[in-house]
Amino acid sequence: LKYYAEYVEESDFVIFSDYDKHFQCRAQEIIRTANEAKTRIAVDPKSAYWELYRGADLLTPNLKEFKKVQKECGTFHSSEPKDILKRLGIKSMLITEGKDGMTLWNQRRKTPIHVDADQLEVIDVTGAGDTVIAAFVLGRVRGYSELESMEFATSAAGAVCRKIGTAVAWADEVKRPELKQQVA
């Protein structure tokens, strides 16, 4: 955490992938450190207790993870995505939906944005969620709009799903939007 705190201020975005491997007890400290540095933070959640991720800029659950939390939230509060975001102080949530694409909800937009998945042959979905969060964040850092970042992430995830095992989406395999403005 000391190493992280030293470098977070120099970052445009932090990705915190919670693989349910001992960092949940530090999740709030990781998010708070990013917030204090005014560095955006995206979280790929594993815990169904999303209070851990309060204050994140972006949450990227898959549909199964979201439905589990939605069911539990419905017991106590509204389980609508926008209400969950507001209650937890999370700005946006990108729900990956496998072959059905992905949907982005956020607090400032009235309706979500949906992007269909590339309809290509799927061989192995290993790493698709990690690819989505990395590609979406990269798109945002490069100056892509939310929609362009979603399309970029969908294309990258499609490239990974056409390979066996943990794989990389190479630049020549991914459709990239044309930048509308120069980004430094």
Position 149, amino acid = S
Active site residues: 130
CA 172 to chain centre: 23
φ/ψ of 83, rounded to 5, equals -70, -40
Yes or no: say if 158 and 175 are a contact pair by the CB < 8 Å rule: no
Helix, strand, coil fractions of the chain, as percent rounded to 5: 45, 15, 40
Neighbours of 72 (CB within 10 A): 14
